[in-house]
Amino acid sequence: MVDKIASIDLDLCNYCGACVEACRLGAIVLEREPAAVPVTDFSQYKDLWIFAEQRAGGLARVSFELLGEGKKLAADLGESLCAFYIGPVSPPNVESLLNRGAEKVYVVADESLLNFQDDLYTDILAHLITRFKPAILLAGATYIGRSFIPRVAARLRTGLTADCTGLAIDPE
């Protein structure tokens, strides 16, 4: 109250509505404008990506499992199956991904990426997705996948389905 007039410091207000309920005279109204929802043109998004997880420079088994499932889903969608690899320089890893079904492999390679780093992997993948626009991304439910994939989803304001035991594409 300032000079017996209700006054709300908007710099301190968190829009909780407590003042509305507390005002016996009903003199306070909380007006909220609907949040602007950005419209995304999904026609630009294509291909199915899998995260080719590496540990100590070698590809994790889950990478090959994802390639197998991803190949079926990509075929159902009529999309290309791609992998993305973050880790030390390793032509044999890239070759292995291509030999196991990846049509293309996006590589971010540096010796400093040998060990998983949450923030750095998040930055890298968010950049790749923003630039290349995959329609679907699959990652294993490993400690690495569980650590940074939700961060990427939150940063890009997109959906995330965790702990899938089966995946299928509805033709409709």
Residue indicated by tokens 């006054």: 7
Q: Answer whether 73's CB lies under 8 Å from 48's CB.
A: yes
| Dist CA 149 CA 106 (whole Å) | 17
Q: Look up the pTM and report it.
A: 0.76
Domains of the chain with CATH codes: 42-156 (3.40.50.620)
pLDDT tier, 65 (very low <50, low <70, confident <90, very high otherwise): very high
pLDDT in tens, 13-40: 877 888 888 888 888 888 777 767 677 7
| Closest-CA residue to 52 (of 4, 19, 90) | 90
Q: Is the pLDDT of residue 78 over 90?
A: yes
Q: Is the pLDDT of residue 44 over 70?
A: yes
pLDDT in tens, 122-131: 999 999 999 9
Q: Is the pLDDT of residue 1 over 70?
A: no
pLDDT in tens, 123-158: 999 999 999 999 999 999 999 999 999 999 999 999
pLDDT of 22 reads: 84
